[in-house]
Amino acid sequence: MARYEAVIGLEVHAHLQTMTKLFCGCSTRFGDAPNSNTCPVCLGLPGALPVLNRKALDLALRASMALGCKIQERSRFARKNYFYPDLPKGYQISMYELPLAIAGAIVVEVEGEKKRIGVTRLHMEDDAGKSLHEGFPDSDRWSYIDFNRCGVPLIEIVSEPDLRSPAEAYAYLNTLKQILEYTEVSNCNMEEGSLRCDANVSVRLRGAHKFGTKAEVKNLNSFRYLAHALEYEIERQIAVIESGGSITQETRLWNLAAGRTEPMRSKEFAHDYRYFPDPDLLPVSVSAVMVEAVRRSMPELPAAKLARFQSDYGITEYDAGVLTASQDLADYFESAVKAGAPAKTAANWISVELLRRLNDTRKGISDCPVTPHSLADLLRKVDKGEITAGTGKRVFAVMFETGRQPADIIAAEGLAQITDTSAIEKIAREVVAKSPDNVAKYRAGNEGVFKFFVGQVMRETRGQANPQAVNEILKRILSGE
């Protein structure tokens, strides 16, 4: 393995977040009754004429700009001809020799190293329908077709063969997904097929300049499959070469159940698409004014937000990375800071306490029972010493479970910090009196046992004693005063 290097390029398809399809007014909603969102245009009936969805074009332009692509003044839709039951027109409308945008790049990070991955092209196309081979009483004899997805707008993003490992491919797809979500171009829901990925994979001896023969691996529709399938395919190709064979240029499918890639039947995938410009659609002409409008509507991108969080809030790159993983989480953090939470504390609590609980309860940040405002309220109380950090965590747990306000919980459960030094001193004296052995050790120079005493006092006060007062009082008592 160490003598070889993998060369990987990804082709990513993403559904655009439009209400209606690419060339007709049918709804794009997922999960509707089969074949309810169809019309003569998306069913490819004779005489029906497509009209380009302006919103889809705007979203595709936004994606192009976010990926640093050069938007072409003129692009053109072409017919990609092939016959398959889920494609009623007999062709897919795509872009071929004149794509919407070219020559972009994104920066990905793997194990602390940043790498620039080229984006060859971005083009628009319409999706095909869906064949249903399972779930019907007569599924052993018949397949069913749902045309709802027919004509749903897609962008295809083709990367340069710049990726060298499954980890880099994973990071690229993750970064791409983050950008498409931030820009609201796509919801990137992989379970619903809104983000799909195919890979071109080849191997070559390390240091070689020529690319090896590549295989296309289809159906990598989850992050986990992507890494597994690429690892499998790379090892397979190396084994073929090592045993004196050669790689066949072919299309392979990731078989999830078997955990391997398998060749597709060649008849199922003929490469002769006989592309030609679609005579029913005008060329797409993108003016400087349109590009400028897209630029103005562009939200802050993940990389810019990551840098700004570090400089504006003084938090680490790691924390900033956690907080900017999604736009919603980043917004949550900024709302909490705006509501008065100290930034570093908020970063810490959100990335540890909050995310852990969201994870445990399988909730997203948008369903979080604790509002940014209540979190800020709690963190201010910790900051001002009204409650200790330990108590804060207990209050937070109740807030998360019940959605109640911190002040209510603190009052109802008597959790306010004990700052009354005479009360702390009384408890500290009792603790010390119970452990003459440890007192002797301390006085003999073993300072380690001091922590034991602090722990005991905190336990007796249910973590509510002011830690600084506990330290001072214990030192005084133990030194024999």
Residues that bind Zn ion (CB under 5 A): 24, 26, 39, 41-42
Contact indicator for 275, 78 with CB cutoff of 8 Å: yes
Q: Which is nearer to Zn ion, 39 or 98 (CB)?
A: 39
| CB nearer Zn ion, residue 39 or residue 103 | 39
Shortest distance, position 185 Cβ to Zn ion, whole Å: 22
- Please say whether the beta carbons of 449 and 442 come within 8 A: yes
Report how far residue 94's alpha carbon sits from residue 79's, in angstroms, rounded to the nearest whole number: 6
CB closer to Zn ion, 25 vs 263: 25
**Comparison of 41 and 378: residue with beta carbon closer to Zn ion:** 41
Q: Which two tokens stand for residue 159?
A: 């990367």
Which residue, 23 or 232, has its beta carbon nearer to Zn ion? Answer: 23
Q: What is the number of residues in the chain?
A: 481
Nearer to Zn ion, 39 or 398 (CB): 39
Residue recorded with tokens 């289809």: 218
Structure tokens at 269: 């995938």
What percent of the residues of the chain are helix, what percent strand, and what percent coil, each to the nearest 5? 40, 20, 40
State the minimum distance, in angstroms, from the CB of residue 33 to Zn ion: 15
Q: Position of tokens 């936004």?
A: 62
Residue 83 beta carbon to Zn ion: minimum distance, rounded to whole angstroms = 20
Q: Which is nearer to Zn ion, 147 or 332 (by Cβ)?
A: 147
Considering beta carbons, is residue 41 or 286 the nearer one to Zn ion? 41
| Minimum distance from residue 89 beta carbon to Zn ion (Å) | 11
Query: Minimum CB separation from Zn ion for residue 20, in Å?
Result: 8
Compute the distance between CA of residue 6 and CA of residue 235 in angstroms, rounded to an integer: 10
* Tokens linked to 411: 């009052």
Residue 203 near residue 217 (C-beta atoms within 8 A): no
R_g over Cα of the chain: 30
Instruction: Report in angstroms how near the CB of residue 111 gets to Zn ion at its nearest.
Output: 47
Provide the minimum distance between the beta carbon of 124 and Zn ion in the complex, in angstroms, as a whole number.
Answer: 16
Decide whether 280 or 331 has the Cβ nearer to Zn ion.
280
Burial 186-206 (b: 16+ CB within 10 A, else e): bbbebeeebbbbbbbbbbbee
For 81, residues 6+ apart whose C-beta sits below 8 A from its C-beta are: 90, 91, 273, 274, 275
Measured in whole angstroms, the distance separating CA 208 from the mean position of its chain's CA atoms is 34
Residue 404 to residue 396: CA distance in whole angstroms: 10
Q: Tell me whether residue 64 or residue 92 sits nearer to Zn ion (CB atom).
A: 92
Q: Which is nearer to Zn ion, 49 or 293 (CB)?
A: 49
DSSP string, 375-386: HHHHHHHHHTTS
- DSSP labels, 445-465: T-TTHHHHHHHHHHHHTTT-B
Closest distance to Zn ion from the beta carbon of 39 (Å):
3
What would the two tokens of residue 397 be?
């747990």
Residue with tokens 């300049």: 209
For Zn ion, which is the closer residue by CB, 23 or 453?
A: 23
Tokens found for residue 266: 């060649």
Q: How far is the CB of 281 from Zn ion (least distance, A)?
A: 15
Describe the strand order of the beta sheet including 70-71 as a list of residue ranges: 70-71, 101-110, 113-126, 153-159, 4-15, 195-205, 215-218, 251-255, 260-263
Q: How far is the CB of 268 from Zn ion (least distance, A)?
A: 27
CB within 8 Å of 440: residues ≥ 6 apart: none
Angle made by CA atoms 41, 46, 52, in degrees to the nearest 5: 30
Strand partners, 4: 205
Closest approach of Cβ 50 to Zn ion, in Å? 9
Beta-strand relationship, 144-146 and 130-132: antiparallel
C-beta of 147: minimal distance to Zn ion in Å? 9
